Structure 1
């Protein structure tokens, strides 16, 4: 059963894929290997898991402004997430996805959702993002 949630577009695009829900925030700088898409932060509970091609679901990013360049590089290489769902605005994540779109024509939509919808989103195994000027939607695919 598909459920649709209204979201706020931070970076335009569309993507569909398996949900990859982070249990803790991640800094892309020192936390993501842009060559493989693996989490390399030694203290992150999801260390060694791969985000490539998945819809990354995280409350917020963490850390260094240099993380934008790491995210942009991962998106360029095709090792980054297919899309990103945030509960809190994050300029570093947003800029990384914007740079990838502008410089490399590699798109990774980023949307912002409400805290109210968060529990349903994190239980969905598959997600579809559609983000464009004027609005965004997040479809929860499968049982939630």
Structure 2
């Protein structure tokens, strides 16, 4: 027997009207973007569920997806630094995080930051203010 699905009607809200905006073209020549690496991992894993069943088995494929994403960003003029926050390390796969940190530090020219515990760390806030990195 098939269950009836509850459909929630979409209520238009003039205050909450998200729009996609390509900020890379706006700020590419003048700003350095900070990329939360673990958030990027989660995004790419979610978008590619059909090809990535398990982080441990398909970590090479995930590394490829991250490199492809970052390469496309660079091609559009983006300059960025990857940030790995230590408090997020255990929420994602710690081994995969270590693999990615090592890979990007040793095999690419991508800047990698690992010394901050969270985006709310006072030292991280000081770093952002000092380096004038806005995104």
TM bucket normalised to smaller: 0.3 to 0.5
Query: What TM-score comes out, normalization by structure 1 length?
Result: 0.34
Larger Rg: 2
Q: Which has the higher strand share?
A: 1
- TM-score, length basis structure 2: 0.36
